[in-house]
Structure 1
């Protein structure tokens, strides 16, 4: 009964709520961890879970030293799950409804400076098919600010070279068109004509734009690996998280005078508040510039 309820919920989130497979995996992981907690505490079914049990579970998350963001996500996942169970009359109450989530501090997004982005581009060895792919991948991600998961799902037909736009399927399967510039356009054409054709040696069962060394679809994990390797080749300090490309895209647009609403639409943010975090970054950039160059700073 327990596992049947979980499976039903996951299907609901995937089919009716149109969540990505990546998000579904997190829901499953969070619920499975709570089921393990239930077994350890002799709770046999979801009906038996009470508010005090939910409070105790949150306490165990803190004891295991989960980051606030991780703990908040787990609580949110379970709240959504029990809300579904309540709707389906599988439980009589939502024990996580009144559980207080940890307050999250505003974490400024990390980004790369334009000079650092240039070093990444130069790290791509465009004499090889994989190097051509890496250059096209990096150029498109920086040109559009798309998420790794969105990038992995792009198909050949989603690229319109006449208008230099790409159709992106975002969170909740919301679609948006994003323009890209000449650098990305040229890199994509070279990759498609001289790189992808060499990697996909026979008629493929998929239409994904970016492929791995064997010609199969490039996964989000594969994209992360590529970016990490480029970071090493460029001799840049620190670890390159894929979202840093997205953060760099938004930060550089705002630094160069783009308006907030346009950046919000390009990023695919439902709420302006999600985009406003980048104003903190640009303000910090302005402050540092002022302190470095004003004669009376």
Structure 2
């Protein structure tokens, strides 16, 4: 088996059996391409079935000179997955990365925004045109409901249960969850739907999608990033932000105001509480307040 055949088979496996997105598959493929480039540069002729640990170690040593520990860890993980696939298909017996340690990396947490900064972003929106009103409710919902950007852009009219105070969200793994929505956000959303969205003729495939561009198509992830970036520049915000910053701020502010971590886990749609702990950073001052308030030796 040569590298081209192994790589193509692996990509089909990722697509069909694991159901990964094109972006994820491309990311795994780039990890293999980096290894192949190293082999070519060093005139190493070896098949994916025969490659041994010492060659992988040489490769990692070389890339470590140019990329961060986090990037190294991602590449090692990607290659380990590739060779696990070859073992699964009975092409190999051992994984050459099994005994290779992943670089130690700290948790990289995104910036959070204060309530004042979020209000600044919203107040900077130009409401003189319909897209401004749309952008306002988008930011409100990202922050008030803690949505992922993919969840927001795919939100449908049929997902709204506003009389009950909930929206239905299709999250990762095609799993639905119900998320409460604040009455203030409900008012903004109703105004957008009844006074702004109904002026746009949606494309047939997007008739049920809530957030549309001026041509009637659903918004892209990139469009939401651009809107936030422009607003951040407008208010001279020095933090690097995106839609996920608002989701992270949602969780952090709930925690700081006394919400239980398990409840936040459900609201964010995390399967594991460990994931929630990574997203929600606990500063020392807050931990001190919790101990002083709840410990019997206070």
TM-score range, shorter chain: 0.7 to 0.9
Query: Which residue matches 1:273?
Result: 274
Greater RCO between the two (CA within 8 Å, min separation 6)?
1
Q: 1:79 to 1:213 in 2, by over 3 A?
A: farther
1:55 corresponds to which residue?
57
The two structures have a TM-score, normalised by structure 2, of: 0.84
Q: 1:291 maps to which residue?
A: none
CA distance 1:30–1:154, shift in 2 (3 Å): farther
Matched, 1:247 2:248: yes
Alignment deviations for residues 151-190 of structure 1 (CA, whole Å, 9 cap, x no partner):
2333333333233333333333333222221232222222
Aligned-partner Cα distance in 1 for 2:261–2:8 = 40
Instruction: Tell me the CA shift for residue 94 of structure 1.
Output: 1.5
Take 1:14 and 1:137, find their aligned partners in 2: how far apart are those partners?
Answer: 31
In terms of mean alpha carbon deviation, does 264-273 or 189-198 score higher? 189-198
| Structure 2 gaps, min length 5 | 290-298
Distance 1:22 1:284 in 2: 39
Once residues 21 and 165 of structure 2 are traced to their aligned partners in structure 1, the CA distance between those partners, rounded to angstroms, is 26
Listed as ranges, the matches of 1:102-181 within 5 Å are 102-181=103-182
- 1-structure distance, mates of 2:116, 2:154: 29
Please give the residue correspondences for 1:169-248 in structure 2 after superposition, counting only pairs within 5 Å: 169-198=170-199, 200-206=200-206, 207-248=208-249
Contact between 1:108 and 1:277, CA under 8 Å: does it hold in 2? yes
Q: Distance in 2 between matches of 1:203 and 1:107?
A: 40
Mapped contact 2:135–2:227 kept (Cα < 8 A): yes
- Structure 1 stretches lacking a partner, 5+ long: 289-297
1:217/1:24 CA distance change after superposition, 3 Å = farther
Aligned residue for 1:79? 80
Q: How many residues align?
A: 286
Alignment partners' CA distance in 2, 1:131 and 1:276: 34
Q: 1:201 Cα deviation (Å)?
A: 3.0
Structure 2 CA distance for partners of 1:112 and 1:94, relative to 1, 3 Å: same
Check the 8 A contact 2:248/2:280 in 1, yes or no.
no
Partner of 1:30: 31
Higher mean C-alpha displacement, 225-234 vs 181-190: 181-190
Shift, 1:84, TM fit: 1.2
User: Matched residues in 1 for 2:278 and 2:55: separation?
Assistant: 35
SS at match of 1:69: helix
Could you tell me how far 1:100 is from its partner in structure 2? 0.7
After superposition, the CA RMSD in angstroms is 2.6
- How far, CA to CA, are the matches of 2:151 and 2:23 in structure 1? 11
Q: Determine if contact 2:125/2:231 at 8 Å carries over to the other structure.
A: yes
